[in-house]
Chains A and B, each alone.
Chain A
Amino acid sequence: MTQLNNAFTLFLSLLVEAMPFLLLGVLLSSVLLLFIDEQKLIARLPKNPLLGALVGSMVGFLFPVCECGNVPVARRLLMQGVPTPVAIGFLLAAPTVNPIVIWATWTAFRDQPEIVVLRIALSLIIATIVGWVFSVQKDLKPLLQPAIAKSWEYNFSPTQDFKKSTQASPLLQSGTFLLNQPGQMVRMDATVLQASLAATAPTKPLSDRLRLLVDNTIQELRELGAVLVFGSAIAAFIQVAVPREVILNLGYGPVTSIIAMMLLAAVVSICSTVDSFFALSFSSTFTSGSLLAFLIFGPMIDLKAIGLMLSIFKPKAVIYLFALAAQLTFLFTLFINLQII
């Protein structure tokens, strides 16, 4: 009974702490999605793969989403014709390299500023490298989910009516896609972003935009809030059910500590806006490298995000992303543990 009560208290404490950050993230992302013209943004992106990946990794500053929010945005970017390295860089880095997460990390690790700096720097580097590697694949279609590739084709019909486009026969159209035409809408089959897409049409009056802002905020809050409830429940369960000694014993070795924390990050699937508070509870006993591994790897890949990513990519591509990100995180944080960097 005590255990249950403790687990519930922990669960509530994680949620109460995370909810304001989630709200802030959702509000900011809604505001930016509604008031930033993506078409212009895309037009200015560099074509060079390495530079593109780097810029993509930093676009998170404009779309401050956690790893639950970045997948729909990355998918939309891909569909709108953003170069692959930019989209992959964004997908991996945006959950970490954004003002809210940086602020939250700073709040939690004020005593260890090096954690904050290294988290951002290493996330940028890893996301850029992975984005760059993916630029070798010029045509991303073989790696995309067939549903996406297909919807890609019939989504570029010049209608913004959701019902019409779903009822339209999914006949293959010829290979020319009409991109960047003013006023043309692209239907997202997933999602929360539909409303915001509609809102970016320049003809919409402000009151409509505000209404859509509230709608978008509510939808993201509902979706991400539910994922957060799951994440917190798992985290609370692990904290109560697994004696700390078991975890702490893993935390001493330079290699085992990193593997343990990466595993934990993948399993717990806690949102990047709040994961630094979670890591804080391990900070006393784990090596800095392993804490960084948790903070870098978790936002890129976790159980919850894999589910979301499978809505864009085929499993093969997700495995590539996973393996590359894991290896790079492991290497860099091992260097830190061994004090090579």
Chain B
Amino acid sequence: MGAKEDILSRVRVALQGDAPVTDIPREYRQSGTMNQDQLIDHLTDRLVDYKAEVKVVLATDLQGAIAEFLANARSVVVPHGLDAEWIAGVADADVVTDSPEAPVPVDQLNATDAVLTSSAVSVAESGTIILDGTPTQGRRAISLVPDQHVCVVPASTIVEILPEAMPRLEPSHPQTWISGPSATSDIELERVEGVHGPRRLSVIIVKDA
């Protein structure tokens, strides 16, 4: 308790006699101008730039696109709220469901090839996909430990710029913002994909039918 009082009183003394700062200018862009097709193109362009794989499909083709991306996976983990139809086309892999009641142990996740999730919001301008821990996205560990992340982005969840995304997100939910697969540039600034997170990020943007 002591240190808190010490620090706060020093702050108060340091600020004594200062005028409060009023009116913060917020003249930056608050909303975008793109239509849905432009948003999809823009997001795709950014994600490809980050070395992610992208497919743009109609809702009717989603199952097939997922099966294609997961063609080489022998085991897949999915969050408990995911639409069971999505994974139905993946015949050859063991599918494990993770839930808050029965979380998959981390060793098992480490032995799992891929994970399939949905996403909450995506930002076209920066190529950022946001997962928020809700039942279609699951616990943070499942989208982290397996080597491939197949992520579904419903077109209606894409916004153009970050300030549009903020009000759509619930701060109390744990969030993971993903812009491309894991990468490092620490060795002579040469970009190497896949250090600790999934080395392969496969994104499926689903257009409204």
A, B bound = no
Chain B contact residues, CB within 8 Å of chain A: none
